[in-house]
Amino acid sequence: MAEIDDANTHSSQLNVCAVQPTLRRDDESPLDALYRILESLKRIQQTTKERIDLFVLPELSPIGYSEDTFDRFLPNTSINKDLQRQIDQAFADLARNLSVYISYGCIGCIQTTTTTSSPVPKNTREESFTIRQKVVNPLGIEIAVYDKTYLCDYGYVRIYFVTNIIMRILL
């Protein structure tokens, strides 16, 4: 856990806890991995001497990071979109219950529209996916979203994900 002092006032302190959970196993559902991570965050908050203000989880946690994972859990079906909503809701609920900020990773979805002009003008809506980090506040409200700008050179990552240069702060 790192403590960050405000260099100007020295009156406030932010206690940050970076958590590196065990990766989701292939035989473990994303929801089971999520519940395991949530329990870990609760346990850390309950057993740590200092109060934690912000938990930071890695990218794509709890979904996972593999070609098989991306084939199975991209939010390109109604079931997988519902899975992402459940994950978002669970982190929002925990942030409210513990009164903390939580930064976690997920798969983002960007809607794009392509217009073709020949032979007949046509608009086509498409979905693209990003590696996304979200932050929820102690009220369980999403306050920031960041889509990864630079993707690693693992060939399969670029097959599934695009980059997005937009960061939204929703304060």
Kindly state the average pLDDT of the residues 6-28.
Answer: 80
Mean pLDDT of the chain: 85
Query: Cα dist. 14→29, 49, 50, 94, 168 in Å?
Result: 33, 14, 10, 19, 22
58, pLDDT greater than 90: yes
CB-based contact 100:52 (threshold 8 Å):
yes
Contacts 24+ apart (CB under 8 A), 153-161: 156/67, 156/70, 157/131, 160/70, 160/74, 160/129, 161/128, 161/129, 161/130, 161/131
Residue 169, pLDDT score: 72
Provide the CATH number for the domain around residue 32: 3.60.110.10
Residue 151, pLDDT score: 79
Residue 113, pLDDT score: 67
Kindly give, in sequence order, each residue whose CB lies less than 8 Å from that of residue 143, ignoring residues fewer than 6 positions away: 101, 135, 136, 137, 169, 170, 171
| Distance from C-alpha of 1 to C-alpha of 154, rounded to nearest angstrom | 31
17, pLDDT greater than 60: yes
User: Into how many domains does the chain fold?
Assistant: 1
Kindly state the average pLDDT of the residues 140-166.
Answer: 81
Residue ranges making up the domain that contains 128: 2-169
Residue 150, pLDDT score: 78
Residue 164, pLDDT score: 77
| Distance from C-alpha of 126 to C-alpha of 138, rounded to nearest angstrom | 34
9 confidence band (pLDDT: 50, 70, 90): very low
Kindly state the average pLDDT of the residues 48-75.
Answer: 91
43 confidence band (pLDDT: 50, 70, 90): very high
Alpha carbon 61 to its chain centroid, in Å, reads 7
